Amino acid sequence: MSNPSPTLAQIQAQTDAWIKTVGVRYFSELTNMAILTEEVGELARLMARTYGDQSFKSSDLNRDLGEEMADVLWVLVCLANQTGIDLTDAWAKRMEAKTQRDATRHLNNPKLGPAQ
């Protein structure tokens, strides 16, 4: 990839181009939802072994956390593309809503304690 920091729009366009050439076509939305669930499970498994209490199995040793996250992003982008979601727009709306809703919520949460 020539641009080391692609925008969400560029990621969506690159994914769409790949799907329509190399991938032939998108899997159905329900298939991609199932694949997303599978990919999130693989990420969760690696997180549990890396940061949690579970020990590594030999099949987990060559897994890369970044690659697992990218797999989740890939399928999420596929779902956005095939359902007509502009992730840049959706992200901006979500950040605005979260900022308004949580303006003081986390600052006043005694469970979070002082910033480290």
Whether 113 is in a domain gets the answer no
Whether 110 is in a domain gets the answer no
Whether 86 is in a domain gets the answer yes
Whether 15 is in a domain gets the answer yes
pTM of the model: 0.85
Whether 42 is in a domain gets the answer yes
Whether 57 is in a domain gets the answer yes
Supply the CATH number for residue 50's domain: 1.10.287.1080
pLDDT tens track for 58-93? 877 788 999 999 999 999 999 999 999 999 999 999
Angle at 106 between CA 65 and CA 115, to 5 degrees: 70
Whether 106 is in a domain gets the answer no
Whether 1 is in a domain gets the answer no
What's the structural domain count of the chain? 1
